[in-house]
Structure 1
Amino acid sequence: MRLGGRWNPPHSFPVLYTSCSREVAVANLWHRFEGEAIQPWEVAEERQADLYELRVSQAGLVDILTAEGIAGVGLPQRYPEGVGHELTQPVGRRLHGEGRPGVWCRSAALPTGQEIALFFEFAERPAIIGPPHRLWEWFPVPEDQRPG
């Protein structure tokens, strides 16, 4: 929350960013490490990204997936390609101010994929399904970098 994200400006409101598929989760982690000097598996094991499977049953998510939904919130039709946080954060702030529970949107890391961003104050908590998956269980970690 301190740094903000695609839909929430820094120091504003908390958002849970979720990927709607494993492929999107993988793309998001690669995106997060773009330009970094290390790979995701080189981070200390206790700080590596675990994957949680969630059941999201949330009515009222704002459509930022379809052409109509994208136009409806005032974003360019090319979204998410070439559309930065300076355009999406004001949309998120407005939707949060309207008491919306979150957005169902295209993934910036994998534009053919989908994500759901839940605005904590107005969204139902998703159910966690099963234990977390460790990085080497869901991400393409090279064999020689896997534990044990």
Structure 2
Amino acid sequence: MTKVVCPGSFDPVTNGHVDIVERAARLFDEVVVAVGVNESKKRLFSLQERIDMLRRATEHLPNVSVASFQGLLVDFCAEHGIAAIAKGLRAVSDFDYELQMAQMNGNLTDVDTLFIPTSPEYSFLASSLVKEVARGGGDVSGLVPDFVLEQMKDAFTR
């Protein structure tokens, strides 16, 4: 059974994230969406809210589960018997960073990194950009699942 992890902060989950997870779910027997915990970063959504959003966004995919991790992703992979990391790439700038990360991870363990090019309609999409536009009152419908849009509106009015 081939198991892969799709890691990220997912603050919030976007339709671009869902697209990458769906495509990984077609390629692998099992996909674990791993939400990174970094206490030093200020997030719009709590860890539990991000996990709940991801579970809801991927509930139509029977071979996808959601978990959280702290520390090194390769340690999470070793603990869960995961052989590969699947990462979405939007642009060449993503590749520069992700290649270095993949090479470091490969140096630490035998976990491979696979790159999935982002679908063209999501090539500009980033969680930070979605939050910035939404915070400014811009329309981000179509960029995030509908229920995430509602949760973002609620979060900005807290």
Query: By the TM > 0.5 criterion, same fold?
Result: no
TM-score, normalising length: structure 2: 0.27
Q: Mark the structure with the bigger radius of gyration.
A: 1
Q: Which has the higher contact order (CA 8 A, sep 6+)?
A: 1
